Amino acid sequence: MKVAIIGAGNGGITACADLKDRGFEVSLFESDRFSKNLDFIKEQGGVYFCEGDIVGYNKDVEGKFVKIDLISKDINEVIDGAEVIMIVAPGVAIEYFARILAPVVDEDQIILVNSAASMAPVRFVNEARQMGIDKSFKIAETNTLTYGTRAIVESARVEMYLRVKKVFLAAYPSRYNQEVFEVCSKLYDCFVPAKNILQINLENGNPEVHPGPALLNAGRIDFSNGEFWLYREGITEHTVNVLKAVEKERMELARALGFEVEGALEARQNRGYFSDDDKSLQEHFNTSEVFTQIKGPTSVTSRYFTEDISTGLVFWSDLGKALGVKTPNIDAIIVLASSMLQTDFYRDGLTLEKLGLDREDLYKTI
């Protein structure tokens, strides 16, 4: 199977290395806006792929060299013959890539958005419709990236420290769920089918974990000048209570829609980020072999605030209004962050109206 990777950040470069190493043909789209400088990787013809426990990992070991079949700025060349086109990019990039992909993708090609969920399939289709493109897209979304990883482009090196063990997947529209799942499961055996993309969205833990605790540490983030570690020091016995309050509201939203979602602790244990021992949620974050290696956020303008509020918490708040579910803690974070960053997140964030959905759509298998 050929897989076209769209997005050359940490996840995209890792997907190229991993899938090629496992026998797939891979091509990588080098976009002008959402890619790192790939000159050295292109010069080398591939990347050094290092997989293993990040704690104590020997940085002197180059790893296995994996050749990437094609890196190109020509989108037609990149997706030609690909059964799956995988967008591995932040939520803010979806409309950008829709404008590039929608005109050229075939209806029998599957588009997989492998990232933190942001209602990307609906946004992709809406952008295509605005362009006058009326194709029947087979597009799916995961609730989280399939890797814990980072890519160092200046040394053509990928350090993958976790293959996520459980990732939810659903198509839009959901009538394509089975077809998409059968094909995408050939790429990753961690996929678990979800009811629809609303469940996918509510299984994304980033808006729950990032904005609240980060907001409560805003002074420390400003003062630290980049030396801040949210999971090690920012999630404490008290800030974790805000996380849990948002978790409760997220789970109530799911129940109002007729399904259950995993809690913060259960989800991260199932994904492989936490061990299975009997620690509290706070202790798991403070001691996780994966999370404790992640620095940041280094600024209050990082995606931990902006993206996770605008495409996460604002959408959950709007869902609450449509479903009659109160979301006071979610709303408090949005209001305080809007004041702090002098940004109207309610105005700029993702809503049902912007997605072209209404209350009745929520109870359908969208």
* Segment 66-87, tens digit of pLDDT: 999 999 999 999 999 999 999 9
Residue 115 and residue 193 in one domain: yes
pLDDT at 60 over 90: no
Q: How confident is the model at residue 53 (pLDDT cuts 50, 70, 90)?
A: low
Q: Taking a C-beta distance cutoff of 8 angstroms, is the pair 351, 315 a contact?
A: yes
Residue 89 and residue 149 in one domain: yes
Residue 242 and residue 171 in one domain: no
Residue 221 and residue 142 in one domain: no
pLDDT at 364 over 50: yes
Residue 169 and residue 301 in one domain: no
Of 161, 182, 202, the position where a domain reaches its end is 202
Amino acid identity, residue 236?
A: T
Number of domains the chain contains: 2
Of all helices (H) and strands (E), which one includes residue 11?
helix 10-21
Interhelix angle for 328-341 vs 314-323, to 10°? 140
Return mean pLDDT, the chain: 94
What digits encode the pLDDT tens for the residues 11-46?
A: 999 999 999 999 999 999 988 887 777 889 999 999
Residue 224 and residue 183 in one domain: no
Residue 218 lies in a domain: yes
pLDDT at 253 over 60: yes
Contacting residues for 277 by C-beta, under 8 A, at least 6 apart: none
The domain containing residue 275 runs over which residues?
A: 206-356
d(CA 112, CA 139): 6
Residue 276 and residue 134 in one domain: no
Residue 285 and residue 161 in one domain: no
The pLDDT value recorded for residue 59 is: 56
Burial of 6 (0-12, 13-18, 19+ CB in 10 A): buried
Mean pLDDT across 288-311: 94
Question: 19: number of CA atoms within 13 Å, CB side?
Answer: 29
Of 179, 202, 225, the position where a domain reaches its end is 202
Q: How confident is the model at residue 54 (pLDDT cuts 50, 70, 90)?
A: very low
pTM of the complete model: 0.94
Residue 42 and residue 175 in one domain: yes
Instruction: Please calculate the CA angle 10-14-16 and round it to the nearest 5 degrees.
Output: 125
Helix segments in 117-238, DSSP class H: 120-130, 177-184, 197-202, 206-209, 211-216, 218-224
Residue 364 lies in a domain: no
User: Percent of the chain scored above 90 by pLDDT?
Assistant: 87
The pLDDT value recorded for residue 178 is: 97
Residue 113 and residue 227 in one domain: no
Which CATH number is 73's domain given?
A: 3.40.50.720
Q: Are strands 147-152 and 157-163 parallel, antiparallel or unpaired?
A: antiparallel
Residue 306 and residue 273 in one domain: yes
Of 181, 202, 223, the position where a domain reaches its end is 202
Which CATH number is 318's domain given?
A: 1.10.1040.10
Residue 60 and residue 172 in one domain: yes
Residue 286 lies in a domain: yes
Q: In what order do the strands lie in the sheet with 157-163?
A: 64-67, 46-51, 157-163, 147-152
